[in-house]
Amino acid sequence: MVGTVHVIGAGLAGLAAAVRLAARGESVVLHEAAPQAGGRCRSYFDRQLNAVIDNGNHLVLSGNGTMREFTRTIGSAHTLTGPDRAEFAFVDLDSDERWTVRLSEGRLPWWIFDKQARVPGTKWSDYLSLAPLLRAGPDATMTDAMRCPPALYKRLIHPLFLAVLNADPAEGSARMAAAVIRETLAAGGKACHPLIAGEGLDVSFVTPALAFLEANGARVMMQHRVRALGFAGDDSRVDAIDFGDGPQALAVDDAVVLAVPPNVAASLVPGLTTPDEYRAIVNAHYQIAPPPGCPPMIGVVNGVSDWIFAFDGRLSVTISGADHLLDESRESLALRIWEEVARACKVQSTPMPVWQLVREKRATFAATPAQDKRRPGARTRWRNLALAGDWTATGLPATIEGALRSGNRAADLLRPA
């Protein structure tokens, strides 16, 4: 087709759609309301830390196929690094017990038979309790669907899936959890190598995507907010976009990928149902070099912290499902988290290093069964309009993989390969 595809929103979903289309030689214009691309997956310079940090600590895995394809296309695959096997370090702050879960590489889970590789205090048969998740219905939460022994639940399943879903397993969708299990744990350790954007999310996902788009003839327009969409009289297509200076007519072969947050999409598209509940994430950053031998990431049990990430000159913490922390003072919360970081990483706790705290009240949609039912598909009733975003019906929680997958799907609907 000869028409232009207007991609509205330059978060990861919009970038994925634009890159996929530009790679095929399509005419693409990318519109972004903010001064920068990346959406919730971006880096910025923090004056307090005097360093570039990410707005959140995002983890991807070696089995995230869409993510791997995207970074190969834009030339940034080498910026994602991690251990050469699936290893996850943990610490229990109550007992100071430490262990590392080491998944076997193949599909057969030999690791659950190895006391040195599985969670301490668990038996190999405990892991069979996860199987019912794979058969869970649309209304089931994780804890509805499984009867997980306490040691396994507290020391692996709860911290892992709290991070994956950004919701406590007691309320989190069993179906979304099952989708993650199928693509990771069930696929074997080779699909679970943790990969971290050590140079920042911008370097791995955003700047190279924008460079790719420029090199392939796409136009990128920042601070270009969509105010309204116009729909044809016969309700068959989007026929105009209003960016604040009046409707701009679309040619008959033009198309639109709407890759904006769910509340924005609902305000632009008549009758669109979207998720309308959200969960918070808190990230804390401390200006201190990780001690020698510090794992790249540590799961925390019996603490306010969930995961600690070791970067060059910085220790960072992510706390998922963090709505209960939104009203605590910044100083009090930063100190509480730092005391846990110092214990977990075995560094001196006083004085507390220079720090920064970032609270995202609407970090992701709530990954509950009820909210999952509100997720629309990419296809709409208008032939030239497709939706993209991690909040659409990807089957996955609000993850980088889900966002990229949704962008690809929207692109393929409008311009099949």
What are the tens digits of pLDDT across the range 107-146?
A: 999 999 999 999 999 999 999 999 999 999 999 999 999 9
> pLDDT for 261-278, tens place per residue?
999 999 999 999 999 999
Backbone torsions φ then ψ of 149, nearest 5 degrees:
-55, 145
pLDDT at 1: 55
- 58 pLDDT above the threshold of 90: no
Residue 80 pLDDT > 60, yes or no? yes
Tokens in use for 87?
């290893």
Distances (CA, A) of 258 to 10, 114, 409: 10, 48, 12
- pLDDT tens for 41-53 read 888 899 999 998 9
Global pTM reads 0.96
Q: What average pLDDT does the segment 156-160 reach?
A: 97
Interatomic CA distance for residues 370 and 367, integer angstroms: 8
Peptide bond preceding 351 in cis form (omega within 30 of 0)? yes
CB 90 within 8 A of CB 299: yes
Q: How far from 199 is each of 57, 277, 395, CA to CA, in Å?
A: 12, 32, 29
CA nearest neighbour of 61 among 207, 217, 186, 151: 186
| Residues 64/72, Cβ–Cβ less than 8 Å | no
- Mean pLDDT over the full length of the chain: 96
